[in-house]
Structure 1
């Protein structure tokens, strides 16, 4: 009789995390993977890259390589592209382990870098893709980027895992805690509060409304634009109607207390926040950019052109004034997310990718 392998005998695949990245989609995505896969063919372990710039020094790189070798890993599932992806690729190569690269974003899409920096970083991103053993994109939009053509083995799209069903549809007392009336329409936006994610646009959208409107806003997240946004809102007529919660782990609790989800991002490869809001049954308002149209269509909400402040405000007003539409679009969003982002199908694709990484599948 063949002896069953213990967990300690299985090939180790490291799942990369960036310290301090809890507020971002890649961190959440890898955390859900780690919590969802329990294989008898390999074991997954978290590996944390420090956020300190020490990792860019020879000593810092050497220490990371030493830590990886101590895990006796076969490969690592890293997040790219960008500078962090390049560093992860370098240390994996130095540690002589295989690389599964998930492309979540690119510096080419950022709006706050000059042309020279973008050009330099695009070269690093090319080397990251070129030197990774297996590559996938988190959306069809990403997989159509020209840089993907340089991959040794591009396996296509593997969407981010949606939240677990048990974590959704929660009963919450958040409205009561914030002093929001039961009949008030609550609009929520979550994520990194930075201009690239369109929170400067959302600020202007909020200012289109008055305190007389039956509308409150909840902003959950942190980022370098948060203080400026709070300052601007504090001087507006809506100052009593906007609640800044900071970084929160109970996002589903917040979503279950809300009526509408909005994100005014300027670029996006997929948007996990929309997945989370949709599966919680909220109608969606988002920018028509990148991979967002893969998440929902106009039966679930409104796709607004980039930087269109009036477009966002009009969509909010339409949903605010029409409860039946909110309910109908929310149901459609929930059904579409559950269908198009089926956890079992996504986990099956990830399992196949991990088996390729350890040489058990071609």
Structure 2
């Protein structure tokens, strides 16, 4: 039996990124378990995995349970289950799990794959934070049989600093469900509905930012750029939870509160995107941003900061790239979309063609091939151990 354990820090990550992989593998005969905090109350996870394991750790790297409680819980699961492979992801889960699993690795009992959704060290990041996170990744590198990266900057960094080049695999994300983001499947009635909900006139342009309202995503930059745009007919919507009161106050201070809509968490992102003239993401750190992939897939122009991940998706004329923190540049990109609708539409169509490499079925095939390759390596080790006995 091919047996895999997938480990993330929290259940939403397990659900969003790895549940499709688990379902696919189970369809072809694998046994796939999941481990994360909160997994026992995640219906999608309970359905996608054969077994789920609850674990008590925190996204805060300094939380004491990460080293005092979680390692023992992992050991207890490994004592019960004989996994061929363990795929870890997200910073806390990846570090703590690899630390614990290294004993099993050295005994030849299993192999460890680490999927890095975006290293916490990156070009342009804080020198101190970069040094800390790079140091931790270097420490854990020898505990890793295969390191999967989702963008080219991380691929270069992994080969340069973390593991031998032959242990690095570039797989662009965990797959976009293109059926959900098919522009032909978004009813015009739904588009009219959301525009009416926002109180927009039929010809009022809408910009949309889909991201948590947290400092790393820099939503203040988007809001300031929109105010600087100076188009009273235009509107800006934010779909995401976080610093809503702070954003409301900033919109009021900038005099655009009647043009800005803070929507919180939304389940109709495809409709909101199709109702928009463009999407905007001003992040300072990304691995491979889903919201940009979704925008491209829906043939909606995308504006993003020139950082890893976003750059991978928008370079080559597939979107507009703006220097990080450049408020004027963001405003100029918004104006370009409004003033050049034909060119913007052509850009969006180029972007939609580029997204095929990130499509779910393509990514599933790559993970299936990777797991088969690493699993065969483990089977060879097991056979050698049996021969020696």
Normalising by structure 2, we get a TM-score of 0.79
Alpha-carbon shift at residue 188 of structure 1 (Å): 1.0
- Counterparts of 1:130-279 in structure 2, within 5 Å, are 130-145=142-157, 149-151=161-163, 153-168=166-181, 169=183, 170-171=186-187, 172=190, 173-210=193-230, 213-223=232-242, 225-279=243-297
- The range that moved more, 56-65 or 270-279, is 56-65
Question: CA offsets per residue over residues 248-274 of structure 1, 9 Å max, x none?
Answer: 343323223222011112233332221
Query: Aligned residue for 1:4?
Result: none
- For residues 242 and 20 of structure 1, the distance between their equivalents in structure 2, rounded to whole angstroms, comes to 32
Specify the alignment match of 2:134 in structure 1: 122
> Normalising by the residue count of structure 1, what TM-score does the alignment of the two structures yield?
0.84
Residues 1:352 and 2:388 are matched in the alignment: no
What is the CA-CA distance between 1:280 and the residue it aligns to? 1.0
Post-superposition offset of 1:71: 4.5
Aligned mates of 1:107, 1:95 — CA distance in 2: 27
* Structure 2 unaligned spans of 5+: 38-55, 381-389
> Does structure 2 retain, via aligned residues, the 8 Å contact 1:184–1:216?
yes
Distance in 2, matches of 1:269 and 1:282, equals: 21
Per mean C-alpha deviation after superposition, the further-off stretch among 131-140 and 231-240 is 231-240
More displaced 10-residue stretch of structure 1: 186-195 or 272-281 = 186-195
Alignment of 1:16-27 (within 5 A): 16-19=7-10, 21=12
Bigger Cα displacement from structure 2, 150-159 vs 270-279 = 150-159
Q: Matched residue pairs, number?
A: 345
Q: 2:31 aligns with which of 21, 27, 43?
A: 43
Mean Cα deviation higher: 277-286 or 225-234: 225-234
| Contact 1:194/1:226 (8 A) holds in 2 | no
Q: CA deviation at 1:35?
A: 4.5
8 Å contact kept, 2:66–2:96: yes
Distance 1:68 1:229 in 2: 46
> Residues 42 and 327 from structure 1, CA distance in 2 versus in 1: closer, same or farther, beyond 3 angstroms?
same
**Cα contact 1:215–1:320 (8 A) shared by 2:** no
2:121 is paired with a residue whose SS is helix
What's the C-alpha RMSD, in Å, of the aligned pairs? Answer: 2.8
Query: In the aligned structure 2, how far is the partner of 1:252 from the partner of 1:35?
Result: 24
Higher helix share: 2
Mapped contact 1:162–1:275 kept (Cα < 8 A): no
**Which of 104, 107, 112 is the equivalent residue of 2:117?**
104
- Cα offset, 1:204, TM superposition: 1.5
The answer as to whether partners of 1:20 and 1:51 remain within 8 angstroms in 2 is: no
Q: Following the alignment from structure 2 to structure 1, what is the Cα–Cα distance between the partners of residues 133 and 350?
A: 40
